[in-house]
Structure 1
Amino acid sequence: MSAHHATFGLAPATRAGAVLSNGAYEVHRDFWDFIVDGRPLLLRLADLDAVSPLAADLGPSLFTAHVRRLLLEEDAPLAGGRYVLYGCPECEGLECGAVTAVIERDGADVVWRDFAWQTGETADLGRDGYPGVGPFRFDGAQYRAALEHLLSDGGPAHGAATARRVLLVGQRVALPARLAAALRGIGIGAEITRDAAGASPDELRSYGAVAFGSAVDGAERAAVRAAFAAAGSSAVFVDLPVPVVPLLIARIEEALDRCPQDQRRLLRLAATRGEVTVETAVPCGVVLTAYRVDRLSRTRTAELFAGQVEAGTHRLTVDARATKGTAYVVARTSGSVLVAEVAGE
């Protein structure tokens, strides 16, 4: 086995939630991703909608148990010394599929090898292995320090209590109420208020994003922004321009994404009538959806593109009728989302 040492680290990552066209939910998940030689391990694999076992919404005892396993302080949960590195974001069932690998000590080092996609008790490397991924040899001290830091730094939180809460500034009427219910359905806490400027600093710091309804005027927005600034909050402010809940959720998910730019699948999105430009960091599946409200205040939704693209910048011709007037395009990959307003003529 190669004597080359790979660097090991951990970084916050997000799997963006969504409300699907059939009304079903995809759950928002915050988790720690494994950073190998400066690059997220998840991006080295196939285009997976998956999260690591180090998820922020786990209870402290379960989160600690997963860390202890990776530290090899507990027996491997699967046959052959295999550990789950990424699994289904919606459940923990192995039947949905998981990325597993053998983790073992080799002297003072820790080695991850024989990566595979696994759906049963045993892995078939010939059929489901990841050729070219690993083995990775990590310095034992660096490896332990990164994982033990999670335990000494408050467990699964990594700021998730903040990242997973949104304040909706507006009236408690139909749209904010529907939006708040949908956000809670995908695992994001949401509250509605018209008195944000009077809240305590501790309360304001607990939000990762603030969304303004269309009825909130400039003076009130300025007062809210000033209150959050005075509290030392890092919340992201977004507008809710049109009453389309799936679009608004995508906009909020984009605001909550704290993943560094160089660790994302989606890098850039721009749209004009009839053309969408999307830039991706790795080969992945992309879905482009257009949302608009017509002159009779009816919501119009159109899927513009769904398919695999290579890494790079792609200019895609789309149906101009789906992006006329005031319209927005949402781009989704596995776990990430960007929103762009369609530029005028």
Structure 2
Amino acid sequence: MAAEYATFGLAPATRAGQVHTDGDFQVHRDFMDFVVDGRPLLYRLCDLDAVSPLASDVPPAILTAQVRGLLLETEAPLPGGRYVIYGCPECADLACGAVTAVILRDGDDFVWRDFAWQTGEHADLELNGYHGIGPYRFPGADYRATLATLLDGAPRPRRRVLLIGARVALLARSAAALRTIGVGADITQDARDVPADELRTYGAVAFGRSVPEERRRSVRRAFADAGVDVAHVDGPAPIVPVLVAQIEQALDRGPAGRRLTGLTASAAAADVEVTSPCRVRLTAYRLDRLRRTHVHEVFDGVLEPGGHRVALDPGAVKGEAYLVARTPGNVLVTAVNRDDPGGPPPGNRAERAPGRD
């Protein structure tokens, strides 16, 4: 099959971290995704939790080596001229599985072809090939110029959050959970005395519910005076996994065309919007009268583009409750609106998954 010309680009992407109620976790990863004809390549793989080799947390020497490989300035790491396009976000071990492709030069052009899922030294195209993806032909000059931008020492993402509030115990547990997944977190009562250079290292600031508005304004002024634009989380949830998800949502630096774009919830149903086929997991968290946390897995499945309504078990969202929606690339959080009885579905109706509470 002849490769048709396609545009090649890069866009910031995030694999959101997560803290599970059983103490397990998945790490936060920032990386550059490949954009083909204006669309992130990862979006063509609807149920893949993976990152490209162009991750922001790898040492500069390793990042340079990855770029040199994609430019075909070094030997292919796998037989047959194959390169890892997406790999395991936890360990990057080929045994966990990776999307690979043959990269070759044709004149001045670069061609990506024969995409496959690979878990060993050799790829089986017949069994594990992505037959609907590629081949792609990229004009050489644009391809080289795009990858060269990664070698210019561009600033790395600010994966730190400043937690401000009086509930030290909750903030300390949240900070520990964030650090576990690879997001730096610091706690303070105010930010007026924090040096400007320090403020510039934060990507988000979260205000506890008891923080008065006057102090919030002073913190915002401190960041503005330091010349840094940060995301704000007001009134974070009093449930550590939900608060972590809120921080992940605030830190999301992925491309404008995110797959998960909308989430609202009433006591009867959740409304979810996605822009491309992807796996979506919905989890409900609630506090009972004794302030104990209960978790209910609401839905886990692949959704097609558009709006979807998922029925909720009223017992799973009674009292103070939150809903967390996740795709492999991003996360959204919403409080359950008990004043909204839930109207007609916006599009498709998704079957509810079995849960636990």
Q: Does the alignment reach a TM-score above 0.5? A: yes
Equivalent residues of 1:285, 1:334 under 8 A apart: yes
User: In structure 2, what is the equivalent of residue 187 of structure 1?
Assistant: 182
Equivalent residues of 2:15, 2:51 under 8 A apart: yes
Equivalent residues of 1:18, 1:186 under 8 A apart: yes
User: In structure 1, what is the equivalent of residue 334 of structure 2?
Assistant: 340
User: In structure 1, what is the equivalent of residue 100 of structure 2?
Assistant: 100
Q: C-alpha distance in 1, partners of 2:240/2:178? A: 9
Q: C-alpha distance in 2, partners of 1:14/1:146? A: 19
Q: C-alpha distance in 2, partners of 1:114/1:141? A: 23
What one-letter code is carried by the residue in structure 2 that aligns with 1:67?
A: V
What one-letter code is carried by the residue in structure 2 that aligns with 1:15?
A: R
Equivalent residues of 2:116, 2:125 under 8 A apart: yes
Are residues 1:293 and 2:287 paired? Answer: yes
1:205-246 deviation per Cα after TM superposition (whole angstroms, max 9, x unaligned)? 210000112221111111101111222211101024432110
SS at match of 2:5: coil
Q: How many residue pairs end up in the alignment?
A: 339
SS at match of 2:92: coil
- Flag structure 1 segments of 5+ consecutive residues without an equivalent: none
Q: C-alpha distance in 2, partners of 1:318/1:195? A: 39
1:24-68 deviation per Cα after TM superposition (whole angstroms, max 9, x unaligned)? 110000000000000000011241000000000000111111011
Equivalent residues of 2:264, 2:336 under 8 A apart: yes
Are residues 1:324 and 2:318 paired? Answer: yes
| Alpha-carbon shift at residue 281 of structure 1 (Å) | 1.5
What one-letter code is carried by the residue in structure 1 that aligns with 2:65?
A: A
- Counting aligned pairs with the same residue, the percent is 62
User: In structure 1, what is the equivalent of residue 214 of structure 2?
Assistant: 219
Counterparts in 2 of 1:251 and 1:3: CA distance versus 1, 3 Å: closer
| Alpha-carbon shift at residue 195 of structure 1 (Å) | 2.8
SS at match of 2:91: coil
| Alpha-carbon shift at residue 297 of structure 1 (Å) | 1.6
| Alpha-carbon shift at residue 316 of structure 1 (Å) | 1.0
User: In structure 1, what is the equivalent of residue 230 of structure 2?
Assistant: 235
| Alpha-carbon shift at residue 294 of structure 1 (Å) | 2.1
Q: TM-score, normalised by structure 1?
A: 0.95
Equivalent residues of 1:240, 1:248 under 8 A apart: no
Q: C-alpha distance in 2, partners of 1:3/1:337? A: 35
What one-letter code is carried by the residue in structure 2 that aligns with 1:219?
A: E
Structure 2 counterparts to residues 238-253 of structure 1, below 5 A? 238-253=233-248
User: In structure 2, what is the equivalent of residue 178 of structure 1?
Assistant: 173
| Alpha-carbon shift at residue 143 of structure 1 (Å) | 0.3
What one-letter code is carried by the residue in structure 2 that aligns with 1:318?
A: L
User: In structure 1, what is the equivalent of residue 277 of structure 2?
Assistant: 283
What one-letter code is carried by the residue in structure 1 that aligns with 2:15?
A: R
Q: C-alpha distance in 1, partners of 2:46/2:220? A: 41
Equivalent residues of 1:261, 1:267 under 8 A apart: no
Q: TM-score, normalised by structure 2?
A: 0.92
What one-letter code is carried by the residue in structure 1 that aligns with 2:120?
A: G
1:181-200 deviation per Cα after TM superposition (whole angstroms, max 9, x unaligned)? 11010000111111312212
Moved more, 135-144 or 282-291: 282-291
1:275-313 deviation per Cα after TM superposition (whole angstroms, max 9, x unaligned)? 000011222221111112222222222111122222211
Are residues 1:273 and 2:260 paired? Answer: no
Runs of at least 4 residues of structure 1 off by over 4 A?
A: none
Equivalent residues of 1:17, 1:335 under 8 A apart: no
User: In structure 2, what is the equivalent of residue 51 of structure 1?
Assistant: 51
SS at match of 1:224: helix
Are residues 1:311 and 2:305 paired? Answer: yes
Counterparts in 2 of 1:292 and 1:172: CA distance versus 1, 3 Å: closer
Equivalent residues of 1:166, 1:210 under 8 A apart: yes
Equivalent residues of 1:171, 1:192 under 8 A apart: no
User: In structure 1, what is the equivalent of residue 354 of structure 2?
Assistant: none
Equivalent residues of 2:167, 2:208 under 8 A apart: no
Moved more, 238-247 or 129-138: 238-247
1:255-283 deviation per Cα after TM superposition (whole angstroms, max 9, x unaligned)? 00022331x22111010111000011222
What one-letter code is carried by the residue in structure 2 that aligns with 1:313?
A: G
| Alpha-carbon shift at residue 3 of structure 1 (Å) | 5.9
Q: C-alpha distance in 2, partners of 1:305/1:285? A: 10
Q: C-alpha distance in 1, partners of 2:313/2:42? A: 33
Q: C-alpha distance in 2, partners of 1:3/1:193? A: 55
| Alpha-carbon shift at residue 172 of structure 1 (Å) | 7.2
What one-letter code is carried by the residue in structure 2 that aligns with 1:271?
A: A
